[in-house]
Structure 1
Amino acid sequence: MSDCIFCKIANHEIPSTVVFEDEQVIAFRDLDPQAPTHVLVIPKHHYATITDDVPAETLAAMANAIKEVTKAEGIDESGFRVITNAGPDAGQTVHHFHMHVLGGKNLGMGLLSADAQ
């Protein structure tokens, strides 16, 4: 999609701090981090949400990216949270499927909002 900011990041049209990249996905630092580590993992192909018929291979590539990001960020053993939001009621503001990888501190038992800040 030509107007999607995440598609532009995936195509390297907009600069970002890339943490991991392969043929199917790219992971980059969130500009408004909600935890000491806050990385977004997105597919390079545009899907609006996780329920948008995302191929199994893409989901597997995203899971692998999360593994690599958590290792690179040093949160693989201490713990991390992975969240995806789907639709406005969930707080999705960019309508390109993405997963938030958060860690680097005790995130508690609450949901993402105030507990991760």
Structure 2
Amino acid sequence: MTSPSSTSQSSNSYCVFCEIVAGREPARIRYLDNDLIAIVNRLTWVPIMLLVMPRRHMSQLEMWSSGIMTRLGDVAATLGCMYCPNGFRILSNFGYDGLQSQSHGHVHVIGGQFLGHYA
């Protein structure tokens, strides 16, 4: 797990999201432009699990405090409406206690069923 204060990826560390962006790892892409990519999460805890992220590697904190967040939020909300017409959640995990598993900043769009109360 990464700490919420981690910054950009070091040149020698592996990032599966950077590999997906580069076309070296497979992914089911649901949105792509010059700055953003949205993919289907390989995990299947709920019927719809999308990940929306900047194509450029940046930490969660960098992503949330950057100018790209408005567009990223628009894309995430649009995909949520498209794939989960009955409702969805958009969320991000920060640090170990927040269960952040990837250093590359991203948001989750989850839905496709009743999601229940918050943790």
Normalising by structure 1, report the TM-score. Answer: 0.82
CA deviation string 1:5-55 (max 9, x = no partner): 111112222110001111111011111122100001111111121x22642
Whether 1:35 aligns to 2:46 is yes
> Alpha-carbon deviation of 1:59?
0.6
Q: Does 1:25 align with 2:68?
A: no
**Structure 1 unaligned blocks of 5 or more:** 112-117
- Structure with greater helix share of residues: 1
Match of 1:16 among 15, 20, 27: 27
Secondary structure in 1 matching 2:104: coil
Which residue among 33, 40, 52 is the counterpart of 2:62? 52
Structure 2 gaps, min length 5: 1-8
Tell whether the 8 Å contact from 1:26 to 1:43 is kept in structure 2 after alignment. yes
The percentage of aligned residue pairs carrying the same residue is 27
- Equivalent residue of 1:82, what SS? strand
Match of 1:115 in 2: none
1:108 and 2:116 correspond? yes
Which 10-residue stretch deviates more, 5-14 or 93-102?
5-14
Q: Is the 8 A contact 2:81 2:87 kept in 1?
A: no
Please identify runs of 4+ aligned residues in structure 1 that moved more than 4 A.
none
Q: Residue 103 of structure 2 aligns with which residue?
A: 95
TM-score (norm. length: structure 2): 0.81
Between 1 and 2, higher relative CO (CA 8 Å, sep ≥ 6) is seen in 2
**Alpha-carbon distance between aligned partners in 2 of 1:67 and 1:84, rounded to the nearest angstrom:** 14
